[in-house]
Homo-oligomer: A and B are copies of this chain.
Amino acid sequence: MKQYHVAILGATGAVGKAMLEVLLERKFPIASLKLLASKRSAGTLISMGDQTYVVEEASAASFAGVDIVLGAADQEIAKRFIPEAIKAGAVVIDNSSAYRLDPDVPLIIPEVNPEAIRQHHGIIANPNCATIIALVACQPLHAYATIQRLVVSTYQAVSGAGIAGLRELDEQVDALRNGQAVQTAAFPYQIAYNLIPQIGGFNEQGYTSEEMKMQNEGRKILNQPSLQVNCTCVRVPVQRSHCESILVELKKPVDVALARKLIAQGQGVRLVDDPASAQYPMPLDASNQDLVYVGRIREDMSGHANALSLWCCGDQIRKGAATNAVQIAQLLIEQK
């Protein structure tokens, strides 16, 4: 079996570390592995399984001989290094938003649009976490009855702001328990015992960048430029799984029994939907694993014959980012 020279760009963040974890779990055929980060992190040791890796400072020279780069850095770092990696002959799977809407860059959820990988020119983009979780949850319904419209309200974990977000929730809870003042840095306001209905900046229509991603990335991934999306994104004091309340309007009717059957047979999803025994998706259950949990499936009672309500939940760091990127890498090597 062919083995690959792999690099992770932004290896010291929450997503970068999870990429390493998932690569090893999935026994990705690795010939060599480089962990790249900023100068500040160079020399950091990262232990995973029985191996310890030394983080190297990323530079244009880092990509010589690398086959696959998993990008877990922010948009600016991505734009600086990805062209260098491509020039060096690597294929980059990038988790930043830098190239997601570039028409020359496939934007892939392996359960939804794996075929798009054939169009890549050196960069494949990993979608936004909330978009991945919503579309993996809805894909079994989409394959059968074609999504027309999504009305989504999100409940997004602090891990969406990386290690700094996770730390901030902990520190704020500690401060409050000790009667101390709460410090904010990763989020604009206190998140402990609070909800912040802003993720990203606002556009002129009052939508945040996170809300627009659900529409714009959704349209591209489903290859459906007229997909209608109404989205409200909210940060909640939960550690690492995003939940979403979704009203999905379909082209033809799907009753609850059929919806459950489709989701039970779907890829990347786990049906958790037994009201009689109070079984439904929750962040604590969905964390630290790769499936998107789907439940609370109900026929709409507000007048739309082909609509279903559902509630889904997925680990934001894993399926929302790292696992999806590693799955794309797996698709890539299957193609070769």
Are A301 and B215 interface neighbours, CB within 8 A?
Answer: yes
Task: Given A296-B206, A301-B205, A302-B149, check contact A197 B311 (CB 8 Å).
Answer: yes
Are B153 and A245 interface neighbours, CB within 8 A?
Answer: yes
Are A194 and B302 interface neighbours, CB within 8 A?
Answer: no
Interface membership of A94, Cβ < 8 A: no
- Find residues 139-164 in chain A having any chain B CB closer than 8 Å to their own CB: 149-151, 153, 155
Which listed residue (B174, B189, B207, B243) contacts A301, Cβ 8 A?
Answer: B207
Query: With a CB–CB cut-off of 8 A, which chain B residues contact A239?
Result: 193
Query: With a CB–CB cut-off of 8 A, which chain B residues contact A28?
Result: none
Task: Given A232-B309, A283-B193, check contact A198 B278 (CB 8 Å).
Answer: yes
Number of copies: 2
- Find residues 280-335 in chain A having any chain B CB closer than 8 Å to their own CB: 280-284, 295-303, 307, 309, 311, 313
Are A197 and B280 interface neighbours, CB within 8 A?
Answer: yes
Interface membership of A64, Cβ < 8 A: no
Interface residues on A, range: 35 or more
Are B230 and A193 interface neighbours, CB within 8 A?
Answer: no
Interface of A, secondary structure class, is: mixed
Query: With a CB–CB cut-off of 8 A, which chain B residues contact A194?
Result: 238, 282-284
Q: List 16 A-B residue pairs with CB atoms under 8 Å apart, sorted by A's residue number.
A: A151-B247, A153-B153, A153-B245, A173-B173, A177-B177, A189-B282, A189-B284, A197-B243, A197-B296, A197-B311, A205-B256, A206-B256, A229-B301, A229-B302, A232-B309, A237-B238
Q: Which residues of A contact B (CB under 8 A)?
A: 149-151, 153, 155, 173-174, 177, 188-190, 193-198, 202, 205-207, 215, 228-230, 232, 234, 236-239, 243, 245, 247, 256, 275-276, 278, 280-284, 295-303, 307, 309, 311, 313
